[in-house]
Structures are given as C-alpha cells and as structure tokens.
C-alpha cells in the first residue's frame, strides 16, 4: 500500500466498521456476556485480551478502544484494552474471541492511610480529603517555597491541584519551568503517591541539600500528583481498592486519548474534550513549560514521542521526532539511573527483554490523542510518558518504587538547563514572542517560541553546533551558529529590530527582482538579484492577508532563482514579500488552476 493512501485506507476501515456495527440499543446491552455486563455496570469499563485479527491493523483498533498493552507474537499479536460500554458493544459486533481480565487493583493489597501523619510514612494510599489536606499543608508549611494552585475541577467536582516550588514562589522568574503530572488513568496510582512524596522531599531538604536548593533556585518546578481524581476515587473518596478505582474519568472517557492529535484529528477518540482535558490544556498554555513528564503504570519503560506515528507503522506513515536522538539520550539517562539503583526493574516490556528501559511510543503501539503528542505538537515544549510498573501496587511496595526512581526525578528536571537559552527583545528592550527555529533540523512543530511576558526561550539539545534563526513578524531576524558543549547551558540573547517605515524606500537598493511567473499554475518562479550574501525571508499571503507560506532562504551575490510550489493553493490573487535586514521586495501574482 502506498503511504499516500494510508489515511484514506484507515478512514475507510473505520467507516466500514461503524456501518457494520450500526446503532446500539439498551436491549443489546442486556444480551451481552453476563460477566461483562456486571463489570460494566459496576465499573463503567471492562478490560479484555484478544488476538489481533489479521484483517485489522492496529491504528484501526486503537481508534475503537483504549489499548493498554500490545504484545507481538509470531502466531498473532495480543492486545489488552479497556473499553467503556459504547466501545464494548461495538467490539462485540466484530465477533472476535476475547477473555475478560480482572481489574489490576484486585491483585494488590491496598492499604489506606489512617491520618495525615500516616500519609507521610509513604507506605499507604491517601483518601481524597487527605490528599487535599496534604497539598494544602505543603503551601502552608513552606509559604516561601510552595504555592498551591487549583487549575480546574473534574466531572464530579474533585479539585485538580498542582503546586509550584521555587525560591521566589510568588514571582514569575526568568528561569525554565518543569512539570511533573501523574495518574491521568485513575487506577495507575504509583506516581500519585511518589509525586506527593517528591514534593515533600524537595521542600523538607531544600535547606540542607545543596543539590536540591540549586535545582529549586534555578527552576520553576510544578507538580500535579493526581490528574484523574474521579477515576482514582470512582466509587468513594475514602478508598482505592478492588473495584473502587478505574482507568477512565467519570464520563467513561480515557483522558490519554482525549487530546487533539498531531495527525490533525481534534477529537481522535470521537468524544468531546473532557473538563479535565480542557483544564490541563489551559493550565499548560498559561505557563511557559519547557519540559514535562507524565507518570503512568502497567509497564516499566520511558516512552518518548511520537505515539501517533511508528517507525515501521503502515498506516500511519513513519515519522520520527526531530529530537529523536535527544529523546533517546534523556530517556536512557532516566532508565540508566533507575538501573543503577534497582535490579530487574525497567528491563522488560510486555514480557520481552528491554534492557535499555526506553521505547518510542508508536513503535510500542500506536495511540491517537495522547497528551505527550499534544504537548510536543501544539504547545512546542517537550514531554515524555514514564510507566512506573504495576498500576496499583501493594502499598508496602511504594517505598521500593521510590528508591528506584527518586534520583531520576531529580536528574530529569535538571535537563531543562542543557541546551540553548536566552532572552529576545526589541530595540527598546521589550520582550518579544519570537520563533526560534534550527535550520536543517526543525520540522513540523519542533521549533520553540520565546515567552511573550519576558522574552525568555529554552531549547533543550544534545551537544553539537546548530544554525539558529530567530524571527518575529514585523521585526528583523537573526541567523547565527551556536554550540552546545558538555551538556551545559549556552546563553544566547538576541535583539530583533522593528522594521522602520522607511523600509519601503529600500525596494531598489541591494536587491532587485528581475522576473517572476504570472499567472501561476503550480510553481512560482522568481529571479532576484542580490548585492550581499545572507539569509532572507519569503512570505506569501492570500487576498485576505492570511499567510500561506513562510520560509527562510540562503542568498548569494548575483541572480538567485526561487522556486516555490503553490499547486495546492486555491485560485486567486496572492502577494509575495521577500526581505532581509537590507532590502524589501514585493510582488503580486494570480494563481490559476490548470
């Protein structure tokens, strides 16, 4: 199958399945497997295991259910998945043999904390009220270091809480911001307790441990221990046990399938954005995060983007993140530190040896609507998903998980300080919301932006030399080479100058357009003569002023031939602007279909 037909083929398969399934009625629900019916009535979700039919590809199946594990076998790949009532009724219509899996919490000995002092023994699970109280106590006991924020509410009205930890906690400093968040699947609670303990660890050791004080003094650290309280406390605020916790939120939706997808599908799960999803999106948009990690359970692995694309996945087409090698490096750093402090932890994945402790998301199994893909594609900062192991482990084992992971927690935050950073301002020193792109490196959405409020930008990178281009509409741009050495921060502050009104008088100086095609069918060809070498910018606008093409070009002395593919543009009138710091040329042309 050709890659150009992958999306069409995928949509065709989904459409055929939906037509085949048809409308599902309450009467049909009453006729399903009695055990399945009982679980769906009690928990609102069911876990099943089945062999992948040879006639159905993984992207088609992942659109229909919340896949939890995908194990590749020669005699047929095995899938474990969570389904709500709607999804299960659709699945049963496919006539695929399956087995029902008991909820993971049923296999653990879960001990609830008796009181707040008991919570700080870190070998029990807090009730919801204890969780809220201990989050409040962090801010009360350490007012100069910790601030509590309620950034939204769940479907059932539970608080969505995060703390900010910083040496100047009530100020927005010019330093990178890092986010840890956990338990967006309500029954994956290891990270929930570990993040509460990590908050306490940072605050209680700030005055006595120089490494922690240095980290807090140089970084804004945000921690959201519980993103899906409705799932964790599904059948009661006082217990996390047996059938009392579940993966989905109160509406029966998987929050890690509910984010806009980089493939362009805004609702890949076919559901409305949930209150928790919208609250998290607003929270992340309102803070200039540089790096984040999202804790899950059920496997032991560091999972990095993309989730929606696999290296060998057809469909969808293959795609690797431009920072793929950097992601492998920082993921290995997390796992290697774990390996140095554990035995046989983060060394297997779905029953197979995985000594590196890391995986590309899509190479494990394709997921649409994941939060890490949303963050990387739409918000232009970096996020990984860290699977900590058993979903709801015995409470007595929580200290062991802590000893395996807490050093990696510290190392991961420190990665925000390795790369290029600086401030971008205009000629008056005012901050700019500028675009920072690495030439011949960044593609899709991997570029970053400086923050509008202070002009600060951070670009985490491996060691090496990079050609950096900083630009902002209405301003000059900077094209420079910068190096990162020894995993140390490299500071690069830049000034972009506002184009003066007199730039219109530069049209016939240093550059001259000799000829261009008009009208245009598929390619816009422009010959421009330059008197100086250097980078210049080309912008193309439609008749309404909407920008449709934006790119940088390398110029040399003499006649430069520009060839721009405009075949996908609609018929109409367009304007093209070609400029640099010493010239500004404009043309107007008409695009016609053949």
SS3 content of the chain, % helix, strand, coil (to 5): 30, 30, 40
Per-residue pLDDT tens over the stretch 358-389: 999 999 999 999 999 999 999 999 999 999 99
Interatomic CA distance for residues 432 and 455, integer angstroms: 5
- For residues 535 and 573, state if they share a domain: yes
Percent pLDDT > 90 in the chain is 68
Backbone angles phi, psi at 378, to 5 degrees: -95, -30
Confidence label for 105 from pLDDT (cuts 50, 70 and 90): low
458-507 pLDDT, tens per residue? 999 999 999 999 998 888 888 899 999 989 999 999 999 887 543 444 44
Per-residue tokens: 447: 């570029």
Query: Domain boundary at 460, 495, 530, which?
Result: 495
For the domain that residue 470 is a member of, what is the CATH number?
A: 2.60.40.1120
Tell me whether residue 387 is one of the annotated catalytic residues.
yes
Q: Which of 69, 101, 133 is the last residue of a domain?
A: 101
Q: Are residues 333 and 392 in the same domain?
A: yes
The Cα–Cα gap between 176 and 404 comes to: 26
What would the pLDDT profile of 174-192 be if each residue is shown by its tens digit?
999 999 999 999 999 999 9
Are 242 and 103 spatial neighbours (Cβ–Cβ below 8 Å)? Answer: yes
Q: In DSSP terms, which residues pair with 480 in a beta bridge?
A: 468
Q: For the domain that residue 525 is a member of, what is the CATH number?
A: 2.60.40.2550
Whether residue 405 is predicted with pLDDT greater than 70 in this model: the reply is yes
Give the span between the Cα atoms of 497 and 238, in whole angstroms.
Answer: 59
Residues contacting 550, CB < 8 A, separation 6+: 537, 538, 539, 540
Rounded-to-integer distance, Cα 497 and Cα 229, Å: 48
Using pLDDT thresholds of 50, 70 and 90, give the confidence band for residue 22: very low
**Joined tokens for residue 360:** 């590309």
For position 20, what pLDDT does the model report?
40
Tell whether the model's pLDDT for residue 243 goes beyond 80.
Answer: no
In this structure, the chain runs to a length of 594
Same domain, 395 and 257: yes
User: Burial code of 207-239, b = ≥16 C-beta within 10 A, e = fewer?
Assistant: eeeeebbebbebbbbbbbbbbbbbbbbbeebeb
508 and 580 in a single domain? The answer is yes
pLDDT of the residue at 168? 95
For residues 121-136, average pLDDT: 97
Q: Give yes or no: residues 90 and 203 share one domain.
A: no
CATH of the domain at 341: 3.40.630.10
Asked whether 305 and 379 are in contact (CB, 8 A), the reply is no
Coil/strand/helix, residue 204: helix
CA angle 80, 10, 45 (to 5 degrees): 30
Strands 534-542 and 572-579: antiparallel
**Given a cut of 60, is residue 21 above it in pLDDT?**
no
Claim to verify: residue 200 and residue 293 sit in the same structural domain: yes
In the 8-state DSSP scheme, what is residue 555? Answer: E
Percent of the chain past pLDDT 70, that is, above it, reads: 90
Beta bridge partners of 530: 511, 558
Q: CA-CA distance, 220 to 110, in Å (whole number)?
A: 33
Whether residue 349 has pLDDT greater than 90:
yes
CB-count burial class (<10 Å; 0-12, 13-18, 19+) for 171: exposed
CATH number of the domain residue 80 falls in: 3.30.70
CA geometry: angle at 271 spanning 10 and 310, to 5°? 40
Same domain? For 477 and 584 the reply is no
Query: pLDDT tens across 156-171, in order?
Result: 999 999 999 999 999 9
* Given 45, 87, 175, 387, the catalytic residue: 387
Nearest Cα neighbor of 68 from 42, 47, 44, 91 is: 47
Q: Which residues contact 33 (CB under 8 A, 6 or more apart)?
A: 92, 100
> What is the pTM assigned to this prediction?
0.83
In this structure, the answer to whether residues 564 and 471 fall within a common structural domain is: no
- Domains contained in the chain, number: 4
Q: What pLDDT shows up at residue 84?
A: 92
Is residue 18's pLDDT more than 50? no
**Which position has the higher pLDDT, 407 or 263?**
407
Residues 256 and 335 in one domain: yes
Relative to beta strand 300-304, strand 358-360 is: parallel
Whether residues 58 and 156 fall in one domain:
no
3-class DSSP assignment, residue 283: helix
Query: What whole-number distance in Å separates Cα of residue 11 and Cα of residue 5?
Result: 10
For 474, the domain range is 419-495
**Of the ranges 26-40, 44-58, 336-350, which is most confident?**
336-350
Q: Select from 473, 495, 517 the last residue of a domain.
A: 495
467 and 340 share a domain?
Answer: no
Using pLDDT thresholds of 50, 70 and 90, give the confidence band for residue 29. low
231 and 380 housed in the same domain: yes
């Amino acid at each position: 199958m050709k890659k150009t037909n992958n999306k069409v083929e995928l949509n065709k398969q989904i459409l055929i399945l939906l037509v085949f399934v048809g409308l599902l009625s309450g009467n049909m629900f009453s006729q399903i497997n009695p055990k399945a019916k009982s679980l769906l009535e009690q928990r609102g979700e069911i876990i099943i295991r089945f062999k992948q039919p040879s006639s159905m590809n993984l992207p088609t199946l992942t659109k229909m259910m919340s896949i939890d594990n995908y194990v590749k076998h020669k005699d047929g790949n095995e899938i474990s998945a969570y389904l709500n009532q709607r999804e299960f009724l659709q699945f049963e219509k496919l006539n695929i043999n399956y087995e029902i899996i008991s909820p993971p919490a049923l296999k653990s000995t879960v001990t609830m904390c008796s009181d707040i002092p008991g919570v700080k023994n870190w070998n029990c699970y807090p009730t919801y009220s204890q969780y809220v109280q201990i989050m409040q106590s962090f801010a009360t006991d350490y007012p100069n270091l910790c601030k509590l924020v309620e950034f939204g509410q769940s479907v059932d009205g539970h608080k969505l809480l995060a703390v900010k930890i910083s040496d100047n906690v009530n100020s927005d400093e010019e330093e990178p911001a890092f986010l840890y968040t956990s338990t967006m699947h309500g029954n994956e609670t290891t990270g929930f307790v570990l993040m509460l303990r990590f908050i306490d660890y940072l605050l209680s050791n700030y005055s006595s441990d120089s490494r922690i004080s240095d980290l807090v003094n140089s970084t804004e650290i945000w921690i959201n221990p519980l993103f899906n309280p409705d799932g964790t406390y599904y059948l009661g605020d006082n217990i996390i046990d047996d059938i009392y916790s579940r993966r989905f939120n109160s509406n029966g939706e998987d929050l890690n399938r509910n984010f806009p997808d980089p493939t362009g599908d805004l609702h890949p799960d076919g559901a409305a954005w949930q209150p928790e999803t919208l609250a998290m999106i607003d929270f992340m948009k309102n803070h200039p995060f540089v790096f984040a990690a999202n804790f899950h359970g059920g496997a032991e692995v560091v999972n990095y983007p993309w989730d929606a694309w696999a290296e060998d996945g057809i469909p969808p087409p293959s795609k690797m993140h431009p920072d793929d090698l950097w992601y492998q490096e920082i993921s290995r750093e997390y796992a290697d530190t774990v390996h140095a402090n554990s035995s046989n932890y983060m060394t297997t994945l779905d029953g197979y040896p995985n000594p590196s402790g890391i995986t590309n998301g899509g190479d494990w199994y394709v997921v649409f609507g994941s939060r890490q893909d949303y963050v990387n594609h739409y918000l232009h900062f970096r996020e990984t998903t860290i699977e900590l192991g058993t979903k709801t482990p015995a409470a007595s084992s929580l200290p062991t998980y802590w000893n395996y992971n807490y050093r990696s927690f510290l190392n991961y935050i420190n990665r925000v300080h390795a790369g290029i950073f600086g401030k971008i301002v205009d000629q008056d020193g005012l901050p700019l919301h500028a675009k920072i792109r690495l030439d011949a490196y960044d593609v899709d959405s991997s570029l970053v932006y400086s923050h509008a409020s202070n002009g600060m930008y951070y670009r985490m990178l491996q060691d090496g030399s990079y050609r950096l281009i900083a630009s902002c509409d209405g301003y000059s741009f900077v094209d420079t080479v910068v190096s990162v050495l020894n995993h140390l921060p490299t500071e690069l502050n830049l000034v972009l100058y506002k184009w003066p009104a007199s730039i219109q008088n530069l049209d016939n100086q240093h550059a001259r357009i000799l000829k261009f095609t008009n009208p245009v069918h598929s390619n816009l060809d422009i010959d421009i003569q330059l008197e100086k070498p250097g980078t210049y910018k080309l912008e193309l606008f439609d008749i309404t002023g909407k920008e449709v093409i934006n790119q940088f070009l390398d110029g040399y002395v003499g006649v430069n031939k520009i060839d721009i593919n405009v075949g996908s543009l609609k018929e109409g009138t367009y304007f093209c602007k070609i400029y640099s710091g010493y010239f500004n040329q404009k043309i107007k042309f008409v695009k016609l279909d053949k």
